[in-house]
């Protein structure tokens, strides 16, 4: 990342006169929060967006310059994200940036350990340390850490919320699920599954949903007080974000339409069927945990963003695959093929990165103008293979056989 990828980006930016500022994905949210809370300015406005660009890129973008980035870095988040950034707006951003980096390191490390517990994997301590180090060293996590991406924060919140959920602490779990909606596209499918699960036994399962809805009411009411009529502004910001970033789903990036849409429909339909069949499972069951992993993996596949850092939401599914590796390997030739494919896809970035890192000690950054992207070749395929294996394994009934009947 430091000696090859970032060195290439710096060199390429200098050649094409492309601006480089703090390049922190936290900065647009932080500056928007500061301007709203201290100066009552609309964080969705064009003026604030230009100020964000001045910090993020080093200067406002100029549409007349073809080499300038197209991502306008607008404040494309719900207003209530400012409530969680409020304690930091009086600090210099350099301090906030470093603090958030280390918070994400700790939270991502905790995410791995929490999911090990959720999946009831009796892994040895050294195995768990190894899993944490492999996660922190993966390209997806490193990209998220270097960008200070809020996706890693949401991933950690979900791990805490789900552990509370499966250990029968529904009220705090509901609160954390509501906070995680600062990135609604990452939690939408999971919430749909949990709502379906809740309505299958409403009298026993409603407390988390009541807590979630109460928290969302408070967040929306506070947001409306801070910035009246913010929802239309947020909608327009999301629509503009999709236009200037050109974000598409992973399958859209890999395939042409209509094939990508067909596969997305199949993946979503198969996931919905699995959720419907298992809606009566208790929250502390093996099958419930497996469905959570499946839903999060398919979320990465379907959201309209192929950004690598979102692959931290594959952590639960990958941990489950590692835990159940023997049963998956023995189940069928198809599961063995997918398992081996995932292993190759995951190992490739490590092997190629080690080779390029070693060569960087001998060669100049200009030598990597064509080879810097080699470690990223398999990244887009990982969510596809993981989602396919999760669905195949479920329908082969590896995790449990027929759904249990409703409890009396």
- Measured between alpha carbons, how far is 45 from 366 in angstroms, rounded to an integer? 40
Q: Band of the pLDDT at 257, cuts 50, 70, 90? A: confident
Domain ranges of the chain: 2-395
With a CB cutoff of 8 Å and minimum separation 6, the contacts of 18 are 12, 67, 68, 69
Residue 400 clears pLDDT 80, i.e. is over it:
no
The predicted structure's pLDDT at residue 112 = 98
Average pLDDT over residues 88-114: 97
- Measured between alpha carbons, how far is 382 from 346 in angstroms, rounded to an integer? 7
- Measured between alpha carbons, how far is 7 from 372 in angstroms, rounded to an integer? 9
Residue 408 clears pLDDT 50, i.e. is over it:
no
Average pLDDT, the chain: 93
Residue 197 clears pLDDT 80, i.e. is over it:
yes
Average pLDDT over residues 364-390: 91
- Measured between alpha carbons, how far is 201 from 196 in angstroms, rounded to an integer? 9
- Measured between alpha carbons, how far is 74 from 399 in angstroms, rounded to an integer? 43
- Measured between alpha carbons, how far is 234 from 301 in angstroms, rounded to an integer? 24
The predicted structure's pLDDT at residue 397 = 57
Average pLDDT over residues 39-56: 95
Q: From 398, 366, 383, select the one nearest 274 (Cα to Cα).
A: 398
Residue 155 clears pLDDT 60, i.e. is over it:
yes
Average pLDDT over residues 348-360: 94
Burial of 85 (0-12, 13-18, 19+ CB in 10 A): buried
Q: How far is CA 216 from CA 14, 210, 211, 380, 383, in A?
A: 45, 10, 9, 33, 30
Torsions phi, psi for 379 (to 5 deg): -60, -45
Token pair for 49: 């967006």
Can you say how many angstroms the Cα of residue 361 is from the centroid of all Cα atoms in its chain? 33
- Measured between alpha carbons, how far is 107 from 100 in angstroms, rounded to an integer? 10
Residue 34 clears pLDDT 80, i.e. is over it:
yes
Token pair for 80: 């209530």
Q: Band of the pLDDT at 131, cuts 50, 70, 90? A: very high
The predicted structure's pLDDT at residue 396 = 78
Whether the ω angle into residue 258 lies within 30 degrees of 0, i.e. cis, is: yes
Percent of the chain with pLDDT over 70: 97
The predicted structure's pLDDT at residue 405 = 52
The predicted structure's pLDDT at residue 399 = 45
Q: Pick the more confident residue, 407 or 154.
A: 154
At residue 185, the 3 state secondary structure works out as helix
- Measured between alpha carbons, how far is 351 from 34 in angstroms, rounded to an integer? 43
Kindly give the interhelix angle for 315-323 and 381-395, rounded to the nearest 10 degrees: 50
pTM above threshold 0.85:
yes
Q: How far is CA 160 from CA 151, 172, 173, 300, 327, in A?
A: 14, 10, 8, 19, 28
Q: What is the CA radius of gyration of the chain?
A: 22
Q: Band of the pLDDT at 398, cuts 50, 70, 90? A: very low
Residue at token pair 């340390």: 129
């Amino acid at each position: 990342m430091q000696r090859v990828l970032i060195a290439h980006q710096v060199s390429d930016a200098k050649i094409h006169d492309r601006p480089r500022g703090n390049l922190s994905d936290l900065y647009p949210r932080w500056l928007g929060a500061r301007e709203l809370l201290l100066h009552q300015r609309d964080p969705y406005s064009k003026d604030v967006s230009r100020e964000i660009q001045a910090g993020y890129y080093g200067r406002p973008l100029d549409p007349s310059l073809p080499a300038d980035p197209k991502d306008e870095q607008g404040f494309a988040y719900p207003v209530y994200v400012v409530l969680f950034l409020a304690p930091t707006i009086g600090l210099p951003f350099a301090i906030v940036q470093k603090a958030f980096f280390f918070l994400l390191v700790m939270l991502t490390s905790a995410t791995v350990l929490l999911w090990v517990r959720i999946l009831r994997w009796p892994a040895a301590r050294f195995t768990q340390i190894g899993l944490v180090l492999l996660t922190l060293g993966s390209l997806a996590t490193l990209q998220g850490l270097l960008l200070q991406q809020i996706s890693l924060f949401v991933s950690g919140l979900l791990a805490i919320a789900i552990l509370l959920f499966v250990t029968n602490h529904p009220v705090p779990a509901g609160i954390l699920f509501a906070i995680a909606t600062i990135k609604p596209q990452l939690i939408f499918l999971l919430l749909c599954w949990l709502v379906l699960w809740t309505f299958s036994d409403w009298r026993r399962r409603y407390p988390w949903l009541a807590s979630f809805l109460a928290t969302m009411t408070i967040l929306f009411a506070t947001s409306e007080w801070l910035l009246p009529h913010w929802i239309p502004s947020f909608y327009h910001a999301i629509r503009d974000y999709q236009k200037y970033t050109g974000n598409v789903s992973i399958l859209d990036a890999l395939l042409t339409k209509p094939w990508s849409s067909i596969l997305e429909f199949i993946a979503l339909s198969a996931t919905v069927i699995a959720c419907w069949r298992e809606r009566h499972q208790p929250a502390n069951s093996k099958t419930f945990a497996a469905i959570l992993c499946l839903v999060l993996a398919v979320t990465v596949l379907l959201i309209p963003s192929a950004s690598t850092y979102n692959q931290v939401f594959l952590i639960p599914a990958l941990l489950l695959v590692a835990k159940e590796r023997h049963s998956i390997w023995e189940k069928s030739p198809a599961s063995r093929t997918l398992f081996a494919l995932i292993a190759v896809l995951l190992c490739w970035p490590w092997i190629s990165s080690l080779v390029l890192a070693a060569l960087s000690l001998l060669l100049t950054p200009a030598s990597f103008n064509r080879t810097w992207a080699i470690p990223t070749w398999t990244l887009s395929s990982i969510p596809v293979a993981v989602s396919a294996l999760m669905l195949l394994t479920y329908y082969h009934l590896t995790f449990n056989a027929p759904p249990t009947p409703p409890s009396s």
